[in-house]
């Protein structure tokens, strides 16, 4: 599904260069649920942005669902992103003046689906997140946990190949966080491929595969289990 080999991403300002990702390697198969942990500033969001085609990379190769991403033009990248990627952000990123239906509808309109197809997708996505009755509400009329479930519905309505979540429960209290995690697990059980950045060790433990990003490089905790202690010590002193 996702294959990154030796990816590098360097941010340059007048005075400094930050190697946000260096020699970054990750393969994720269809149907996996991967939790990404690591200290603040280690490159987790940069990785998700590159994976989600929101950001370019400077070196290495990246294949998404069989498509070699390198050299694609901006419009080709947006098309690929809209088709294959569903994003879930910490801050939901719903449009406050649009009701729930229109929030989910917007990216579908952009892709040119018929009104009938859009309605089918929106109703099915709202059903999946358990909020079918709320399509006329404004985001501000919902709790944080409900707003995040709407953001998940918006991602699902695109029928993506892969869901990318950047600290999806970071703004939620523990009860709502648990509901959102349960939803992500259900979606994974139903076949969704998910990559989730999290700070929460319990959440990471609840997921089959854990990888850790430290200084822009990845350690696969499931494959290199003996390195766990070393990686954790590094994380604590970073």
- Whether 195 contacts 118, CB under 8 Å: no
Helix (H) / strand (E) element for 195: namely: strand 193-197
Give the nearest distance from C-beta 159 to Mg ion in angstroms: 26
- Whether 136 contacts 145, CB under 8 Å: no
Decide which of ligand ADP, Mg ion, none touches 201; Cβ closer than 5 to 8 Å per partner kind.
none
Count of residues touching ligand ADP (by CB under 6 A): 11
Q: Which of positions 33-92 make contact with Mg ion (CB under 5 A)?
A: 44-45
Decide which of ligand ADP, Mg ion, none touches 139; Cβ closer than 5 to 8 Å per partner kind.
none
- Can you say whether the dihedral through the CA atoms of 36, 41, 45, 47 is positive or negative? negative
Decide which of Mg ion, ligand ADP, none touches 11; Cβ closer than 5 to 8 Å per partner kind.
ligand ADP
Sheet strands (E) in 89-169? 162-166
Spatial separation of the C-alpha atoms in residues 178 and 159, rounded to whole Å: 24
Give the nearest distance from C-beta 181 to Mg ion in angstroms: 18
Decide which of ligand ADP, Mg ion, none touches 18; Cβ closer than 5 to 8 Å per partner kind.
ligand ADP
Return residues touching ligand ADP (CB under 6 A).
11, 18, 20, 38, 40-46
């Amino acid at each position: 599904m996702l294959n990154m080999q030796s990816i590098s991403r360097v941010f340059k300002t007048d005075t400094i260069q930050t190697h946000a990702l260096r020699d970054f390697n990750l393969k994720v198969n269809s149907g996996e649920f991967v939790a990404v942990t690591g200290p603040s500033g280690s490159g987790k969001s940069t990785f998700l942005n590159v994976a989600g085609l929101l950001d370019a990379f400077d070196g290495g190769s990246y294949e998404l669902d069989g498509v070699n991403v390198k050299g694609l033009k901006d419009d080709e990248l947006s098309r690929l992103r809209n088709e294959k990627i569903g994003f879930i952000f910490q801050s939901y990123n719903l449009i406050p003046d649009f009701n729930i239906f229109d929030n989910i509808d917007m990216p579908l309109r952009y892709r040119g689906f018929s009104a009938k197809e859009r309605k089918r997708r929106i109703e099915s996505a709202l059903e999946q997140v358990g909020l079918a009755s709320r399509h006329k509400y404004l985001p501000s009329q919902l709790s944080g946990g409900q707003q995040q479930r709407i953001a998940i519905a918006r991602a699902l309505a695109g029928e993506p190949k892969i869901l990318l979540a950047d600290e999806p429960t970071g703004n939620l209290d523990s009860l709502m966080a648990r509901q959102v995690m349960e939803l992500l697990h259900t979606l994974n059980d139903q076949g969704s491929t998910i990559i989730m950045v999290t700070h929460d060790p319990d959440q990471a433990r609840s997921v089959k595969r854990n990888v850790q990003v430290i200084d822009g490089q990845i350690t696969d905790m499931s494959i290199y289990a003996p390195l766990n202690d070393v990686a954790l010590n590094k994380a604590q002193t970073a």
